[in-house]
Every structure is written in structure tokens, then in C-alpha cells.
Structure 1
């Protein structure tokens, strides 16, 4: 069986009923769509969601500890962060953000991979209320994305061990239309808009062991258009960003062992048309950021061992403009707009046992510079 046949052995039929589409501002969705990161303290990986809980234009935080079920909402006010009292949910949950109703406020999904139970927590003025309990297939990891461009968050579920996947299409009323399929196992999944012809969000699949990649472009009806298989070398850290002014997302590859990197420019459909190569030292964490109001994505580099950092401002097809940053070492970095100016600020999590145990660095408009505000 060829790699193509292996990959496509279970392409689903189209969903018969076309999802009703709503006019939701794409800019609003892009701005509010939360960043999900995993951060370890004492060997425990915590889920940290970045989302505007109280609709004040500043991104807040939801910190979840899967060992205890504890979660804390941290509100980013102009002068200081405020951590609401810790609440408790079930341990072992996959916690992701999404727009589940039509009020333009981000909501939260609590998915239990062990049982398949799903709790939908709707956000009202910063307080989460569980309104619906449903079920999805068990043993999956959930990726929020907008399969049909209607502004409602859909969810792609994938099991890296078995290759089984499930697409949950949001119907805006607390329920989902389910489409199931199977790919080969072992894919890392990234979400982006790789098609220049619609507002659907798509998937990039990369196998870190073999280097094989595919684009899976959403058709908006429960299925995908698949690219031909491509092959990069193994071992890349893969990030998605917009590095030129066309209508498609691009890819940034960094090898943490060799320091080699590539900016890979999308052709607006199933392939890539340009590879730009560069090299840094090894061991950097690479974060996609928006450092200037130009509609392009930039990078922040952080080295946990030394505390060194760089703000890397995109220069179209000519690399980056670099600004050195002096930061704390042994921290976990996170990009967030806590000041409400639609530029990426920087959080360094220094004490992950404390919901506000981070240091805040505010981005300064135009230039890739940061003001160090405080450590909490």
C-alpha cells in the first residue's frame, strides 16, 4: 500500500446537511482565538489557555492542573493581574477553548479522554457555567478549529496511537454533528488557514519520525481535500504563522538540536512555493508573535538555560530584524496580549505552583522592544 493510499484509506463521505453559515467578523475570531500551551512544574504539565474572559480586549488566563482538577482564572487588568479563587473540576481533562454560542465570548470545553464525556462551559462576563454534557469518542486529543468558516468552533479529535479521528461540527445549539475516519498513526497536527480561497481552517500533518507531511484542507462539509505527500527531514519543531501579505498561513520549522530553521511559504492551496533557510544556535523555544501592526507574524526566541531572548521582526523574504531581550532563565514562555493593543506581550512563568507566578513584559509598538513591567 502506498503512503498516499495508507493516508487516505478512510476519507469520509460528505455530511448530507449543509451547516448554516453565520456572518461573524473574521478579525474578531482571529483576535480572540486562544493560545494553548503546556507548562511543566515539578514534572506536572499544566494547561494554560489565553482568552478574553471578560470582553475588555485584554487576554486573560485559565490555568488547569490535570493532576488535581484545579483551575484558576487570571484576569489581566491594566496595572496588575488578579487571580480568582481556585475552582475544581475533574482531573485528567483535555481543556480547550472555543466559541460555542453566538455572543462572541470565548467558552471552554472540558473533554475527558478516558470516558469520552464532554462538558461545555459557557462564558458569561468571566464566569463559566456548564450548560451541556455530551460525549465524543474516547482516547483522543482535541484541536479547536473552524472547519466551515461560520465562526463557531468545531473540534478535530485524533488518536496518535491508532490513527482514528473524529470531526465534531458545531451546530451553535450545544450539539455537534460527528464525522469519523482513520488515518495512519503518529501525526502531529497544526491548525492554520492554508487555502487562499475560503475562511475555513485547515490541518497540517507532520510525522516527526519520518518527516512526511500532508495538508488536509477543510471542504466545509465534514471532509478534507488532501495534498500529495511531502517530505521534510525528521525532528522539526513546527509552528504556523503569516509571514507575507497573501491570504494563506505559512510554516516555520526549527531544529532544536542543529539550530537550522526554514520559513516555508504556502502557495495558497495544497503545497508550498518557497523555502527560506537560516541558522541559529541550538536549544531555543520559538513563539509566534505579532510585534508590529503590519498584518505579519514575527517570532520571540527564548532560551530557558541562559535566560537569553530575541524579538525577531519579520522582513518579508529577507529574514528577521533582531532585538536582544534580557529575561529570567528556567521559565516557561508564553505569548499573550494582556495590554489590549493587539500586539503580542510576553509572559515568563517562573513559579507554576502559583497562578500568577509569572513575569510580564509589555510589547512596545514598532521595533520589537519590550518593557519589563513586574514579577508577580
Structure 2
């Protein structure tokens, strides 16, 4: 009994799991260019991020059927239904809609959409129609669902695209984030968001940042107020969203902080479970932050391609030191050899002097004997 109670409790918890998201039908149809046929409700809950083409189910096979997915019907399913006896066809359609599906979309703008209207109205299921091919709509639908169900967060900062690199600039209020972004825009880079950056994580490791709808293209500049970047600098100066490649943190200069002088220590910050390169830039009077950030962005792109200038510099220094050590070793060896030769020459010279002295002594002795 206890095991049964535990299993029932676990099953109840699973059934009480919250849906991935709630989709408004009006916004759903507008985003995917869908035509409304039967819409008994204004929204529906999505419990699964996948889609399904119900060919097997319309044939009567429901084993492993995930009825929580959005259902897509194309020419194959319609041609099969049209091959059935009308009474059997109606029964198969009724059985299919009785499984509490969230939504059915008929593709190719097929007139046979009318086959599903009766069952959709009976079971209060949303029935929509699309002019697109089934495959292309399926791809767009998966992207739409992925965007809707992706993990989200918001951070305080400025988002810009610098030389093709998505950069989030963070730091304390008043440190100069917006002013720096303004200078970057004047240098030809793109502005995405100011003050609040909405971030979504796609496929587990792909971060995309954008501005909240109400703040899109607007920036606050202290002393001036709110400006519309798109109107002031043109459409080329803004983008709706961008991939986030790195985070740059601005902080007031602290002479006691151990700032990285070489760039060998790679720092990261975690956003929605994804580690993103982090660069800390100290702010002080006279520093051109826009130029520094551009350089940091280009350097980050070079790192992604495998070229690390700091490491190359260190390797060159190490190679130079090794070459210098080899040169010194050779010089020491030559010096030692010269000292050895000099030592041998001195010994030879001493022996020669001793020999000459001995010869001289012998000659003197011979002369003395001759005198006597």
C-alpha cells in the first residue's frame, strides 16, 4: 500500500507539472501567418516543444502518441483521409480530436480543412490553416516554440554589437556605460539595448540578447535625457537582437586591484548556465573606453579563431630567453675552453722555462769542467 501511495503521489506531481508556456492564439497566428478556422479559446498551453504529423494516428495507431504537441497536417495525411470511406474518415478524425490535442494546423492552404471543423468544434480544439508547405512551416514553428520556451533572464547593462561581436557592457550606475555605447555607435557599431538587456538561452549554449519592447532603440544619456538612437543615427545604427559573445565590466580604477597586464588569465561569467568571456576594464580620466572595448571585441574574436596574442607574446619571450640561455651557455663553454688552453699554454711555458734552465745549468757545468 505504501508503494502504491508513493507511486500515486509521484504520478500526481508529474500531472501537476507546469506547462512550458502559454500561447496567445492571436499573436501565434500573426507570427506564423496562420488563418483562424475554429478558435474556441484565446490561448492554449504548450506542454511539449516538439511537433507531430499524425499520419499513424489517423490510421488508428495511438501507441506512444504524444497528444501534447502541436499537430501538423499536409498533403500526405489529407490524401490518406480522402481515400477512406466517409463514415470511417469521420470516425478516425473524431477519434483523433478526442485525444485533447492543443492545436491542429492544416498546411498548403488545402480546402479539405473543412473535414476537421466538426470535430474541432465538438472537442473545442483550435483549428488553423497555413499557406506554407508543411516542412517549411514545421521549421518556423520549431523556432517559434524554441523562442517561447527558452530560459530567460534580464541584466542591468548595455548591449552593443562591436565589429560583429555581441558585447554586454555592465557596471555600476553612472560609470559611463551609455556614454561609451554612444561613442561606439558614432564609430559605426550597432546598438541593441540600454539599461535592461533581455537574454534568452537557445539549445542550451546559445545566448541571444535584445531590448524589452518598451525600451527598444531608446537610450538614457545623463544631462540630455532619453534619445531615440534609430532616429538620431539611422536604421543602420540599431539591431533588434544579437548573439552575446562576451561581457565587459566597467569599474572605477583601484590602484590596489591586481588588473591583468598580459591577458593570459581568461575570466568568465555565467549567464543561464552558459560561461561567457568576461573582461574587466578599469575606468579613469582620459581613457578612451570605446577604443578599448573595440580592441577587446576584436581580440575576443581572434581568440575564437585560435590566435591568442598574449600567449604568442609570452612564447616569443620564452623563446628569446631560451635562445639567450643557449648563447650564454655557448659563451661559457668557449670561455672555459679558452681558460683550459691558457692553462695548458702556461704549463707548457713553465716546462719550457724549466727545460731551458736545466740546459743552461748543464752548459755551465760543461764550461766549468773545460776550465779545469
Q: TM-score range by the shorter chain?
A: under 0.3
- TM (normalized to structure 2)? 0.22
The structure where strand makes up a greater share of residues is 1
The structure where helix makes up a greater share of residues is 2
- TM (normalized to structure 1)? 0.22
Q: Give 1 or 2 for the bigger CA radius of gyration.
A: 2
